[in-house]
Chains A and B, each alone.
Chain A
Amino acid sequence: ETGVTQSPTHLIKTRGQQVTLRCSSQSGHNTVSWYQQALGQGPQFIFQYYREEENGRGNFPPRFSGLQFPNYSSELNVNALELDDSALYLCASSVPGGVTEAFFGQGTRLTVV
């Protein structure tokens, strides 16, 4: 399987805690984007990583941070969790520049209680 894989699939955290979500990109893709999809909404861009550097960021506070590793996999970290952080977090991998198709993972369902 060379598609985008995310882990874990589900998790429950308590308000104020920290969480790390993981993503392995599609083979050959060196760009990873993270999206938050709240219930009933479309995916909303959090940030993108390319060559281990943040390469664009949406309207999310600094407590949302990320990493990209040399093998192009990525982590999304969220500190000081709030109830409104409950959502499906999607990872998408692509190649940079030009017209490109983003391949999405199945997502991680985060519930903050």
Chain B
Amino acid sequence: AQRVTQPEKLLSVFKGAPVELKCNYSYSGSPELFWYVQYSRQRLQLLLRHISRESIKGFTADLNKGETSFHLKKPFAQEEDSAMYYCALKRSGANNLFFGTGTRLTVIP
């Protein structure tokens, strides 16, 4: 079985401060991990995926297989980063996603 855990339902940081949204997973195989974001009144959209190893809107996330984590980080939070963030896992060979419960990030001006 697989599980995605986002321990923080709410996270508030000041503008310009670093932000880290935590994601831990459990899965016996080799997962693909994603971060999805939902801005206010917008649809759920992909932010980044671990295999791309890219930075999107200043966000990065590294897959740590030893700690089974895929934390999302940004060195300097911006007000426009305020949104709901979901960590998601895709099992190898599958095409559906398992989502965590999400973290609502609020960036305080």
Contacts and interface: CB of A to CB of B under 8 A. Distances in A.
B92 to A, nearest CB: 11
Interface residues of B, number: 21
Interface residues of A, number: 28
Contact of B99 (A4, A44, A99): A44
B97 A102 contact: yes
A62 interface: no
Contacts, number: 54
A94 interface: yes
B96 A58 contact: yes
A50 to B, nearest CB: 8
Given A99-B32, A104-B43, A104-B45, A42 B95 contact: no
Contacts of B51: 99
Interface string A80-109: 000000000010001011011111111100
Contact of B96 (A42, A48, A103, A104): A48
23 contacts: A4-B43, A35-B99, A40-B101, A41-B102, A42-B4, A42-B6, A42-B88, A42-B101, A42-B102, A45-B97, A45-B98, A48-B96, A55-B95, A56-B94, A56-B95, A90-B44, A96-B95, A99-B32, A99-B51, A101-B46, A102-B46, A103-B45, A105-B43
